[in-house]
Each structure stands twice: as structure tokens, then as C-alpha cells.
Amino acid sequence: TRTPVNVTVTGAAGQIGYALLFRIASGHLLGPDVPVKLRLLEIPQAVKAAEGTAMELDDCAFPLLKGIDIFDNPADGFAGANIALLVGARPRTAGMERGDLLSANGGIFKPQGEAINAGAADDIKVLVVGNPANTNALIAQQHAPDVPAERFTAMTRLDHNRAISQLAQKTGAAVGDIAKLTIWGNHSATQYPDIFHAEIAGKNAAETVNDEAWLADTFIPTVAKRGAAIIEARGASSAASAANAAIDHVHTWVNGTAAGDWTSMGVVSDGSYDVPAGLISSFPVTCKDGKWEIVQGLAVNEFSRGRIDASVRELAEERDAVRELGLI
């Protein structure tokens, strides 16, 4: 019998947490034969709600779920964690300046990075979902000097999945026929969904679409502003699709990308594609044996270059702002 994998989820009582935990427990995060133990981290006021979710998890009698523990402090929450999903964050509220948002999140992600450094398992893998995800991941990573930097990642898989869906609808292709799509940069409105290297049933996607106006004026803004469109329609932010993307991100990281395909992940730059080293930026990556690698050698045309640079510039500004605030 396999030793259960310890999965820590922060913000477990939130709406993404509610959509996420049941799928982790039913085997979708790691695979149908991998037992898991859940460690739910919440702020003290939300512990009671997390207990309610844990009662429902019990009531599902999931065969793979070997335990649920609930914590209100990061030291205990991350002790022994093999996988950590950092979902809880301080959302931007009306009138909040960027500096306020970054310092509020620094107060969350700095101690979490320290706790991961002190007590997580040696094979810890971290996914940051809570926004601003790339910069929150950078803050946590900077406070975990003993953990290899490549273990800290930020989620752009929801953008990736949204882009695949939009492209499938435009071309009438099946989503399963679309490969090699890339999200570059920040998980924000400046992100750049790139179809120039994407393939639809083996054929180049940009050539198949052959419509640069659609790319610039419809596709890119639709993907980038999808979150706002869902809030407008649903009256609440996207939660199930965000949880689904978190499941996809970790599943791909652990189990690998398919041959002839890649995925998008926010990862620590090594300077590839002129993204300054150290920034946590989204790239095309392949995964194998639990490790990711940035896809190298892609030609970047002028259309793409300007958009990648703009998003990376925003990431550098966020990094400079958290540096000035003394958060890293």
C-alpha cells in the first residue's frame, strides 16, 4: 500500500476550495491509485466553515482520502506537505491601491513561504492560485531559500484552458485536437495567449485561423477578460473552472505532458525568451518525472514580442513594488 500524499490547501473554506477539495479527494489531482491526506489551512474566522466542508468530505466516503486535518497557522498547515495549493489570498476591493494589495498579500505569502521552508516535505511542489498569483508565488519563493526555486509555480492553466476553448469554438475543432498553445507573462489582463505555435490536428493554428484582427481584437481580449465576463454573468467569480485548472496544473506537473504537446505554467525564469531571470512568468513548459522544463527555441514574431514584453514589464514592476515594500 502506498503512503498517502499530504496535500495542503489554503483558503480551503473559500469558493475555489469548495470546488477543489472534492476532486483532490476523489483522485483527480494525482491519479486514481494515489491515496491523499488533506491539510486545510484557513484564517481563524474561517476554520468553522472549513470544518463543515470536512464533514461533507467525510460523507463522500472517498476510498483514497486517508485523513483531513484543519489548521489556522502556516507552520502546522505545511508540516510534511508534499503538494501545496495556495488558494487563499487577499482580494482587491474597491478603492484599494496596488501597494495595499501587495502588502496585504505579502503578509500572507511571506509567512507561508517561511513555513514551507521550515516544515514541508523534501519533494514539496507549490502552486499559487491566489492573486496576484505570480507575485504571490515570488514572495513565497523568496522566503523559502532551502527549497529549490523551481518548486514554486503560479497558475496560468485557466487562461490556457480558456484559450483552447475559444480557439476550438472559432475553428470548429475538438479541444482534444488542439496542442502547443502558450500563455506568456502574468496572470492578469496583460497576459498573452499565443497561437502562433499552436496546432489544430497537427496543422498550424494561426495559419488555420488566418485572421490577425480576430486574434488582436477578439481572441486575446476574450481570454484576458474572461474572469470579468463570468462575474458579470454569474454574479460570482469563476470557481469551478479555476479549481479545475489547479487540478490540471498539478496533474500535468506530476504525471507529465503528452508527447507532442506542452502546457503553460508560471515558473521561475532562467532568462529564456528575454524574460529577466528570477521573475515568475508563464512559459510554454513540458513536464516529465515531476519536473518542468521551458520549451526552448521557439521563434517569437513581432506581434508576440511586444505583448510578451508588456506583460513581463508588469511582472517586473510588481517585483520592484514588493521589493520596495520590503516583502522580498
Q: How many CB atoms lie within 10 A of CB 19?
A: 18
- Cis status, amide bond into 132, omega within 30 of 0: yes
Q: Which long-range contacts (CB under 8 A, 24 or more apart) does 256-262 make?
A: 256/286, 256/287, 256/288, 256/289, 257/285, 257/286, 257/287, 257/288, 258/179, 260/179, 260/180, 261/179, 261/180, 262/179, 262/180, 262/182, 262/286, 262/295
Q: Which of residues 18-77 bind ligand NDP (CB under 6 A)?
A: 41-43, 46
Residue 170 or 187: which CB sits closer to ligand NDP?
187
Q: How far is the CB of 46 from ligand NDP (least distance, A)?
A: 4
On whether 301 is known to bind a ligand per the annotation, the reply is no
Q: How far is the CB of 12 from ligand NDP (least distance, A)?
A: 7
Instruction: Tell me the C-alpha distance between 167 and 234, whole Å.
Output: 23
Q: Which of 6, 7, 8, 14: binder of ligand NDP (CB under 6 A)?
A: 14
Residue type, 241: S
Closest CA to 160 of 245, 270, 73: 245
* Residue nearest to ligand NDP as judged by C-beta position: 14
CB burial readout 135-172, b (16+ within 10 A) else e: bbbbbbbbbbeebeeebbbbbbbbbbbbbbbbbbebbe
**String marking each residue 135-174 x if it binds ligand NDP according to CB under 6 A:** -----------------------x----------------
**String marking each residue 231-250 x if it binds ligand NDP according to CB under 6 A:** ------xxx--x--------
160 classed as catalytic: no
- The DSSP bridge pattern shows strands 280-288 and 291-294 to be antiparallel
CB burial readout 238-263, b (16+ within 10 A) else e: bbebbbbbbbbbbbbbbebbeeeebb
- The DSSP bridge pattern shows strands 152-154 and 125-128 to be parallel
CA 324 and chain centroid, separation:
25
Q: Which of residues 261-300 bind ligand NDP (CB under 6 A)?
A: none
Q: How far is the CB of 261 from ligand NDP (least distance, A)?
A: 23
Q: How far is the CB of 26 from ligand NDP (least distance, A)?
A: 19
Instruction: Tell me the C-alpha distance between 291 and 277, whole Å.
Output: 18
Active-site choice (28, 143, 160, 187): 187
Decide: is 126 part of the binding site for ligand NDP (CB under 6 A).
no
Q: How far is the CB of 209 from ligand NDP (least distance, A)?
A: 25
Residue 90 or 197: which CB sits closer to ligand NDP?
90
Q: How far is the CB of 282 from ligand NDP (least distance, A)?
A: 13
Q: Which of 131, 134, 191, 222: binder of ligand NDP (CB under 6 A)?
A: 131
On whether 80 is known to bind a ligand per the annotation, the reply is no
Residue 30 or 242: which CB sits closer to ligand NDP?
242
Query: Which residues are part of a known binding site for NAD(+)?
Result: 11-17, 105, 112, 129-131
Query: Which residues are part of a known binding site?
Result: 11-17, 92, 98, 105, 112, 129-131, 162
Q: Which of the residues are catalytic?
A: 187
**Given the rule CB under 6 A, which residues bind ligand NDP?**
10-11, 13-17, 41-43, 46, 87-92, 108, 129-131, 158, 227, 237-239, 242
